[in-house]
A and B are shown apart, each in its own frame.
Chain A
Amino acid sequence: MKRRGIPREVETFIKDHLSSVAQLEILLLIHAQQEAFHSPEEVAEQLRIEPGWAAAEMERLCGHGLCEVQRDNGDRYRFSPDDPRHATVVDDLATAFSTHRVSVITLIFSTPSDSIGSFADAFKLRGDRDG
């Protein structure tokens, strides 16, 4: 089921795990090159952001169980979701970002503590979680 052209699971994923566009772009970058480990400096250079910021966001992604970190001689990160379903969702997210960029970005900025949305979702009888 799609809303604004974005599958529901992707929307839920965005709301649960992504709070900035930088985070999204970092995630998609390490997802696109899944076999390799990436250093914050590499990521920062590709995305033209501060390495410190990249490192912090990548740590945050690890905290969400989306990547793993190798700590020797500096931290390197690789896309590695704890939940195998997330691999598919991030594939879909990458597609969605390429086809519906604005909608994805809008979703990132929708208020996390959305009481109005929670109120409406409470009346979904199917028990759709994380609406």
Chain B
Amino acid sequence: MAKAVFVLCALTSLVCAVLLLRGYGRSHSRLLLWSGLCFVGLAINNGMLVLDRAILTEVDLSVWRQLPAVAGVTLLLYGLVWDAD
């Protein structure tokens, strides 16, 4: 059940990332670059949650899996502050 949730969240994040980065390619609006990268980070975060839960049960990824999310949210904030007019 939890695995399915994280897979769904990872896929949703990926879709958002693709849409935003594609939009950045068209409009060159940098907010879309940062927010797209944020969703890449969230996708990795969710992906690692699937891994952690399903596959790598001996290794503790609990700190590592937060790092992409932290990086993503940081980039998003940067974009929101500087590039959202």
Do A and B come into direct contact in the complex, CB within 8 Å?
Answer: yes
Binding site for B on A (CB under 8 A): 111, 113-116, 118-119, 121-123, 125, 129
Interface contacts beyond A119-B29, A119-B31, A122-B32: sample of 15 additional A-B pairs, CB < 8 Å, sorted by A: A113-B29, A114-B85, A115-B30, A115-B83, A115-B84, A116-B85, A118-B32, A119-B35, A121-B23, A121-B27, A122-B20, A122-B23, A123-B16, A123-B19, A125-B19
Determine which of A111, A113, A119, A129 lies in contact with B26 in the assembled complex, contact meaning CB atoms within 8 Å: A129
User: Do the beta carbons of B19 and A122 come within 8 Å of each other?
Assistant: yes
In the complex the two chains form, is A118's CB within 8 Å of B27's CB? yes
Q: Which B residues, 8 to 49, have Cβ-Cβ distances below 8 Å to chain A?
A: 16, 19-20, 22-24, 26-27, 29-32, 35
Q: List 28 A-B contacts (CB under 8 A).
A: A111-B85, A113-B29, A113-B85, A114-B85, A115-B30, A115-B31, A115-B83, A116-B31, A116-B84, A118-B23, A118-B27, A118-B29, A118-B31, A118-B32, A119-B20, A119-B23, A119-B29, A119-B31, A119-B32, A119-B35, A121-B23, A121-B27, A122-B19, A122-B22, A122-B32, A123-B23, A125-B19, A129-B26
